[in-house]
Amino acid sequence: MKHIKTLNTRDFKKSMKNGGCGECQTSCQSACKTSCTVGNQTCEKAKK
């Protein structure tokens, strides 16, 4: 495209079908302890 550059992002709608396994880190265990940040977390579905 000439006018638009789309960044590579995860398709949220598709993730409804194959997500929700719960193996990902609990958000507060990383560093924060005073806020909730999930956008920076990595999906761990395939890492078990």
Partner 1 sequence: MLHQYRSNGYNIVMDVNSGSIHVVDDVVYDLIELLDSVKGEKNIRNAVSEDLIETLPYEELEDVFSNLLTRYSDEQLREAYDEVCELISQDILFSDDVYEDFVIDFKKRKTVVKALCLHISHDCNLACRYCFAEEGKYHQSRRELMSYEVGKQALDFLVANSGNRHNLEVDFFGGEPLMNFEVVKQLVGYGRSIEEKYDKKFRFTLTTNGVLLNDEILEFANKEMSNLVLSIDGRKEVHDLMRPFRGGQGSYDAIVDKLKKAADSRDQMNYYVRGTFTRNNLDFSEDVKHLAELGFEQISIEPVVAEPTEDYAIREEDIPVILEQYDRLALYLLDRKKRGEGVNFFHFMIDLSGGPCVAKRLSGCGSGTEYLAVTPTGELYPCHQFVGKSEFKLGDVYIGVTNTKVQDEFKLCNVYAKEKCRDCFAKFYCSGGCAANSYNFSGDINGAYDIGCELQKKRVEAAIMMKAAEADMQIDK
Amino acid at 25: Q
The angle at the Cα of 5, spanning 2 to 7, to the nearest 5 degrees, equals 165
Non-local (6+) Cβ contacts of 30 within 8 A are 37, 40, 41
Minimum distance, C-beta of residue 22 to partner 1, in the bound complex (Å): 6
Minimum distance, C-beta of residue 35 to partner 1, in the bound complex (Å): 5
- Residues of span 7-26 touching partner 1 by CB under 8 A: 7-13, 15-16, 18-20, 22-26
Contact set with partner 1 (CB under 8 A):
1-13, 15-16, 18-20, 22-45, 48
